[in-house]
Amino acid sequence: MILTDSQILKEIEKKTIVIDPFRRSCLGSNSYDVHLGKRLATYTSEILDCKKDNEITAFDIPAEGLVLHPTKLYLGVTEEYTETHTHVPFLEGKSSIGRLGIDIHATAGKGDVGYCNTWTLEISVRQPVRVYAGMPIGQLIYFEVSGLTEVPYNRKKSAKYGGKTTEPIGSRMFMNFDVESDSWK
């Protein structure tokens, strides 16, 4: 089941959901709007390697906005830091963003119980489009889970995207490759 606005507010009060900064005006009927942070990043190499830590270059979105191009993948970050301790958060693009041809994630729209961080966005566009820091970019939807979570994401030793950051985070797929055995975990 998806949480409604009143249930999201109750969970925030109980601190099972944390949104910082929280703006009441961003609370929808069954979602919470998140905004594009001021930092974007792109990969420095033209060819990416899943077995390597591919270098990214991060930069600020200027006040006049930045034109994104279809030939590039941009890593963005939400302004909002979130914690979700008893629900599964899903991040989806806002319909207004989709109608501009902007996708905010390729495959990683689901968080885990225990996810505590900003959200890195995998932004691609269909045609050139200018974006701005602080603009609404997506919405978080919270799902109830059935059963207890043995180990929440923020306590997993294998968690690759924990901590608190205001920077976009590049792929950490390379951490799934065991060099010693020359095999994927």
By annotation, the residues acting in catalysis are: 122
**Residue 71 structure tokens:** 């030939």
Q: Distance between CA 24 and CA 176 in Å, rounded?
A: 39
Contacts of residue 56, Cβ cutoff 8 Å, sequence gap at least 6: 41, 42, 43, 44, 75, 168, 170
Helix (H) or strand (E) holding 35: strand 32-43
Q: Tell me 174's DSSP state.
A: G
Q: Is 5 helix (H, G, I), strand (E, B) or coil?
A: helix
Q: Distance between CA 101 and CA 90 in Å, rounded?
A: 20
